[in-house]
Chain A
Amino acid sequence: MSATPLDAAQNQTAAPSFNFEPINVEARFDSPRAAIDSDRSKNWFKRVFPILWVNKWAFSIGITMTVLTMLVSVALPALTGQIIDALPNAIIENQPDHFLLLVIIMISLTVLRFIFGFLGTYQMSRVSNQLEADLRSVIYNHLVTLSFSFYDNIQTGQVISRANSDIKAIQMFLMMSPMLLTSVLSFIFAAAYMLSVSFTLTLAALVTTPVVYVLSMKLRAIMFPLSWLTQAHQADVAVIVDENINGQRIVKSFAQEQSQLTLLGKAAKKLQWVQVRAIDISSIFNPVIEHLTVVGQVLVWVYGGWLVIQGEVQLGALVAFNMYLMIIQAPFRFLGLLLQMEQRAKASAGRIFEILDEQPEITDRANISSLKSPQGYLEFDDVHFAYKNDPVLTGLDFKVESGETIAIVGRTGSGKSTVVRLLSRFYEMSSGSIKIDGIDIRDLALKNLHFHVGQVLDEPFLFSISIRDNIAYGKPNASMAEIISAAKAAQAHDFIKNMEKGYDTVVGERGYTLSGGQRQRLGIARALLVNPPILVLDDATSAIDVKVESDIHEALVNLMANRTTILIAHRLSTIGLANRVVLLDEGKAIATGTHQKLLETVPRYSEILSQQNRMPEREPRS
C-alpha cells in the first residue's frame, strides 16, 4: 500500500484560497443579535437584559395582545351578569331589545378574545423560544473559545445541565414576569367590579384567599426539595440499571446478581419512600386548598343571596361576582409562583455566568503574523511549563529540521505529550519560546497555527457521525476520493469497506462500536486528510496490531518525506521510523541523535527503552 493516491488526490483539490477554517455547512439561522452584559457587577437581570431587549418589538406586540385579551376577558362576566339581569325584563315585559343587544356585544367580545388571545399567546411563545435559542447559541459560541485547561477541569454533565435546565429557568422567568402586568391589571378590574357590587361581600369572598395563598406557598416549599430528591433517586436507579447492563459480564462473572438486585431494591425503596412522602403531604394539602377556595364561593352565595333578598344587589351581579372571584384569586397564586421562579432564575443565571465569564486562557496577540506554507523548521528554546504548580518542562531545547521525522522518547510522565501540546498552543508555556520557520508560535493566529500542525492523539475521540464525516472532520468539504485515500493510508479502508454501510456507518457513542485500533486508524486518517506540513502522532498506534502498524508506517514513510513529523512512541518499531530521537528526562531534552547513536552513547536511553520494551511484545500477523 503506498500513499501516492493520497498525494494525488490532494494535489488535485489543492486549497484554492488560504482558508484556515473549514466550513461546510449552510447557516440557516441568524446568529444571536445580542450577548450577555459582561459587567459582572450588575445584577443578573440587567446582565441578561440585552437578550430580551433585542426582541422588544415582538415582545411589545405580544404584551399588547395579552393586555387586550385580558381586558376583554374581564368584561365578559359583567356582561353575563347583565344578560341575566336583563332576562326578567325581556321576558315579562316582552322587550327583548336590550337583551339582544347585550348578546350581540358578548358575541363580538368573544370573537375579539379569540383573536387577541391567539395572537398574544403565540407571539409571547415565539419571543420566549427566540430567547431560549439565543441563550443557547450565546453559550455555545462562548464554549468553543475556551482553552484546553478549561476542559480539563469540567464535567460535561454539569455544563449540559447548565445549558439546559438553567436556560429554561431563566427563559421561564423572563417570559412570566411581564405577565405580572396583565395579572395586576385584571386584579384591579376584578377588584373594582367586586367592590362596586359590595365592599363587605368582597371581604367575605376573599376571607379564605390569604389562607389558600399561605398553604399553597407552604406546599410548594415542601414539595420542591421532594421533587429534586425524587429526581436524584430516579437517577440513582438509572445508574444502577445502566451499570448492570453495561457491566453485565462482570456481574455474572462474580455471581453478584443477588447483591445487585438488593442494591437496586434499596434504591427503588428510597424512590418509593420519597414518592410516598410527597403523596402523603399533597393528599393533605391539595384537598384543603381546593375546597377552601370553594368555601369563599359558598360565603358569597349566602351573604350575597341575603343582599339580593334585601334588594341591595341584583342576581346577575351576584353571578358575575362569583366569576370575578375566580379571576381575582389568580394573581395571588401567580405572585407566589413568580417569586419562586425569580429565585431559581437568579441561581440559574449565576451558573450560566460562571461559564460565560470564563475567559479563554490562550488568545491571539494584537499583532499577528501569518504563515502560508511553512517549511516546518521547529525550534524549542528554553521552554518551561508547569501543570498546576507541578513543573513538567524545565528548559527544553531542541530543533527539528524541515521535513525531518523525530521521535520523542521518555519515561511515562516525562512530559512528552506536553511538548507537542505546547507546539499547538493548547497550553501556554510559562517561559521560553517555540518557533516555526523562525516565527514565534505566539505571534501566529491560533487558527493559522492549528491549520499547520496536525495532531493525532492517543485516545482518538470519534463523533457519532458517519465514518466519512469523522475522517473529514478537519476538511468537511473533502471529496470522497480524498477521504478514501486518507483511509487507505491509515489502513482503515479495508475494515470500513467491510462494514455494512461502509463510509456511511455512523459511529456509536464515543466510538465504542469500533475497536481501539480501528479508532486510532480513523484518527490517523482524519489528520492525514488535512495534510498538515507538521504532523504529530502522540502514541497514535498503541492499540494497533504490529502487522497493520507496519503497513501504516510504510504509508507514513511516504507521507513523511515532505513534512516535519513528531512521533511519541513506546515501541521500538515506531521509534525506528524516526531520523532522530529526542530523549526527554526530568523536563529537559538530555540527548538527541539517531536511535543507534543514542543506544551506543547514552546509557539512560537504553535504560528507558529496556524498561519499556523488556520483552518483545504483541502477537504478529493475525
Chain B
Amino acid sequence: MKGFGSKHASAAGLPFAGIPPEMVEKTNALMEDEPDFNDLQLTFSHRAGEEQTFSLINFLSPYKYRMLGALGLVGMTEALLLLGPYLVKVAIDDAIIPKDFDVLIWVAAAWILSLFVAGFVSGFRQRYVGRLGQLLMYELRIRVFAHLQRLSLDFFTKEKAGRLMARMTSDIEALSNLLQNGLVNLVAQTLSLLFIIGILLSFNIKLTLILLVIAAPVMLVMTVWFKTVSAKGYANVRNRIADVLADLQESLAGMRLVISFNRMKHNIISHRNRVGDYRDANNYTARVSATYSSATMFVDSATTIIILAVGYLILVDINPTLDPQGAFTVGALVAFANMVSRFFKPINSLVGLYNEFQSGNAAVIKLRELLGTPPSVQEKSDPIEIEDMHGDIKIRNVSFRYDANEPVLKNLSLHIEAGKSISFVGPTGAGKSTLAKLIARFYDPNEGSILIDDYNLKDLSIKSLHKQLGVVPQEPFLFHGSIKDNIRFSNMDASSDDIMQACRAVGIEDLIERLPQGLDTPCHERGSSLSSGERQLLALARAFLSKPRVLILDEATSNIDQQSESKIEQALDNLLEGRTAIIIAHRLATAMRANIIAVVKDQGIVEMGSHTELIDRRGYYAEMHKTWMQQNAGTNLGQQ
C-alpha cells in the first residue's frame, strides 16, 4: 500500500489523512513559493497582561476603521450591481419601445461601465476583507494558544482534550466565517434588499406591496422552516457519520480482537446498522432539501405569474394605451418580473446568516470563557529569575487537596538537600505523584510553602524554574516528528553531538544506530513504532539533554519490558549523578537506588531514611521489602 507522498504526514486522529497522490505535485510546487517564516519569534509570558474580556466588539475595535471601509465597499458593490435591472427598464421604455437606438447605446455603455467599476470594487473588497479576516484569525490563534500554554495542569486534567481542540479549530473557524462572510453578507444583503425595494417602489407601489405582503412572508416562513429543520437534519447526519467512522476506526484498530473472537459477522451487521442510520439521516435531509428547492422555485414562478397578472390589471386600469411615458409601463412590468428572484435572494441569505451568527456567537462565548479562565498557578508580577539553581528543596507544612476532595497531603514537611536523591514509595493514591507535582509547581499547595534554594516557589519566574527542572512522567509522550526532534525538545539549541551523548547516557545509542534513518526516524502516532521501553528511554534522554538541576522521575520506570528495564537502571546512574532527584517508583529495585527513601502514606511521610535504616526500623518499608523477598523466594521454588 502506498503512502501519501507528502511532506505533511497524516495528523494523528484527524479525518484528514494526507494530500491525495494526484495532487502532490501541484501542492509541492505551491509550497516552493511558501515562505518558511523561520524568523518568526513570538514571546511568551506566564502573565496574561492587560487583555480585555474577549468579545466581538473588543476583538474588532483595533480594526474599526478598516471594518467600516470594508462595509462601505460592500454597499458600493451592491448598488452598482442593481443598476443592471434598472437599466433594462430604461432600455425597454426609453429606447426599444420608442425605437431610439442612440439611447440604447448610451444605456449599454452605462451598464458596461457600471459592471467594470463593480468588478473592480468587488475584487478589491474581497481581497481587503479576506486579508483582514485572515490577520484576525492568525492573531486569535496565537492568543488562544498562548493562553492554553499559560493554564495550569489541573485545567488540562479537567477539560477534555477534544473540547480544547475544538476551541482552537472549529470555534476559530466559526468566528472566521462570521467575520469574513457573515458580517459582510449581513450588510450586503440588507442593502441589496433595501435597494431592490426602492427600485421596485419606483416601478409600481401596488405590485411592490403584493410582493412584500404576500410573497415575502411565504418565502420567509419556508426558509425559516428549512433552515431549522435542515440544521437539525445535518447535525444528525454529522453525528451518524461520526458514528460510522468511529466504528470503522475502532474496528481497524481492534481488528486482531475481532478476528480472534470471531466477531466478524456481528461487527458487519452492527456497522451496516450504523451505515444504514447514516443513510436514513441523509435521506431525511435530502427530502427536506428537495422540498425546499422545488418549493422556492414554485414560489418564485408563482409570484412572477401573479405579478404579470396583477400588472396586466394595473396596465388596463391606468395605462390602457401602453404609453411608454405613462405612470406604469410594459418595460416596468418586465423589469419588475425580472426582479422577483433577485428580491427573494437576500431574504433567503439573511435567514441563513442567522445560523452563522448563532454559531459565531456560541464560539465567541466559548472562547471568552477559555480566555477568561485564570491559570491556577500564577506567576508573580515581579518574579525572581533564578539562575544556577543548587536544588536544595524545603517543603514546609504543606497541605494539598484536589478541588473539594479529601486532602491528599496534610502538613507535610521535608528537606531534600542539593545533589541528593530521594525515592517516594507507598500505596497507590497516597500522594507520591502529587508531592512531585507540587515541587515542580504544576500545582500550588493549599497551605504551607515550598522553597528551592530558600526561594519560595511562588516568587520565582516559572520559566526559570522549569528550565532547571526535568520531569519524566509514566506515559512517555512523544511529539510528531523525528527521534531527534523529540530528544531535542528539552533543549532546542542542542547539537547532534549533544543528542548522541544523551542517547549514549541512557543506552539507546545502539537502537539509534540500528535504525536505517538513525536520529531522523519519525516517531509515528504516539510513538507506536517504538516499544514502550524504547519510548521511555527516549523520554529519559530528553530529560538528560536539558541537564536539569532537579530531576523528577514520576513512575518513569514502570510498564516497561525487562530488557529496557536493565538499560533504564543503568541510565539512572548517569542521570542521577550530581543532581537533586525525586524518584517515584513502582519497583523497589529502582527505589533503592536513591540516597534516601521516604514512605508516603496517610497524607504524609511516615518513614524516611536509607534502605538499611528503614529495614532496621521494621516499619511499613521493612514489611514491603519482606513480602517482596518472600514472593521472589516462593516463585523460585515453583508452585506445582
Contact = CB atoms under 8 A, between A and B. Distances in A.
Contacts of A26: 269
Interface string B19-32: 11111001101110
Given A253-B440, A576-B635, A474 B294 contact: no
Contacts of A107: 302, 305
Interface in A455-475: 455, 457, 461, 463-464, 473-474
Contact of A620 (B100, B265, B624): B624
Given A241-B169, A577-B639, A595-B638, A268 B273 contact: no
Given A265-B42, A457-B256, A620-B627, A141 B466 contact: no
A126 B283 contact: yes
B588 A315 contact: no
A258 interface: yes
Contacts of A243: 477, 479-480
Interface stretch (A43-51, A117-125, A481-489): A117-125
B514 interface: no
A241 B165 contact: yes
B12 A242 contact: yes
Interface stretch (A27-35, A179-187, A384-392): A27-35
B8 A232 contact: yes
A318 B97 CA distance: 13
B546 interface: yes
B10 A155 contact: yes
B365 interface: no
Given A121-B290, A266-B37, A451-B262, A143 B628 contact: no
A218 interface: no
Nearest to B261: A474
B334 A319 contact: yes
B225 interface: no
Contacts, number: 548
A616 interface: yes
B630 to A, nearest CB: 9
A237 interface: yes
Contacts of B142: 261, 264-265, 268
B294 A137 contact: no
A254 interface: yes
B256 A269 contact: no
A368 to B, nearest CB: 15
Interface residues of B, number: 197
Interface string A72-107: 000010001001100110111010100100010011
A153 B268 CA distance: 22
A18 B510 CA distance: 52
A572 B635 CA distance: 6
A265 B266 contact: no
B5 interface: no
A40 interface: no
Contacts of A620: 624, 627-628, 631
A332 interface: no
A144 B315 CA distance: 73
A205 interface: no
B578 to A, nearest CB: 19
Determine the main DSSP class of B at the interface with A: helix
B634 interface: yes
B627 A92 contact: no
Interface in A10-26: 20-26
Interface string A581-609: 00000000000001110000000000000
A431 interface: no
Given A243-B479, A253-B440, A283-B124, A596 B134 contact: no
A261 B146 contact: yes
B348 interface: no
B301 interface: yes
Nearest to A351: B20
B270 interface: yes
A256 B263 contact: no
B249 interface: yes
B249 A235 contact: no
Given A305-B91, A309-B101, A235 B8 contact: yes
Nearest to A280: B127
B153 interface: yes
Contacts of A143: 251-252, 255
Main secondary structure of the interface of A (DSSP, over half): helix
Interface stretch (B409-417, B560-568, B605-613): B560-568
B10 A157 contact: yes
Contacts of A249: 153, 156, 442, 471, 473, 477
Contacts of A188: none
Contacts of B260: 424, 426, 450, 453-455
B503 interface: no
Given A237-B168, A294-B84, A136 B261 contact: no
Nearest to A236: B8
Contacts of B18: 157-158, 161, 232
Contact of B145 (A244, A542, A615): A244
A474 B34 contact: no
A495 to B, nearest CB: 11
Contacts of B304: 80
A114 B320 CA distance: 35
A329 interface: no
A26 to B, nearest CB: 8
Nearest to B167: A241
Given A268-B142, A447-B262, A570-B562, A114 B297 contact: yes
B63 interface: no
A129 B286 contact: yes
A284 interface: yes
A258 B42 contact: yes
A1 interface: no
Contacts of A499: none
Contacts of B49: none
A276 B304 CA distance: 42
Contact of B257 (A110, A473, A596): A473
A294 to B, nearest CB: 6
Contact of A255 (B150, B462, B585): B462
Nearest to B273: A28
A617 B589 CA distance: 6
B330 A84 contact: yes
A479 interface: no
B169 A29 contact: no
Given A21-B265, A156-B249, A118 B290 contact: yes
Given A87-B312, A158-B3, A613-B562, A140 B588 contact: no
Nearest to B127: A283
A344 B22 CA distance: 8
B451 interface: no
B258 A144 contact: yes
Nearest to B122: A287
Interface string A301-318: 110011011000001001
Interface in B440-484: 440, 442, 462-467, 469-471, 473, 477, 479-480
B282 A245 contact: no
Contacts of B490: 254, 256
B16 A235 contact: yes
A252 B123 contact: no
Interface string A226-268: 1011011011111101111111111111111111111011101
27 contacts: A21-B262, A21-B266, A94-B316, A121-B290, A125-B283, A126-B283, A155-B3, A229-B31, A246-B161, A254-B489, A256-B492, A257-B149, A258-B463, A265-B40, A269-B138, A279-B126, A282-B126, A286-B122, A290-B122, A291-B119, A298-B108, A412-B562, A463-B254, A542-B559, A546-B628, A546-B631, A614-B589
Given A23-B265, A283-B127, 5 more contacts: A125-B289, A161-B18, A242-B12, A257-B44, A301-B107
Minimum-distance CB pairs A-B, first 4: A125-B286, A29-B276, A279-B130, A255-B466
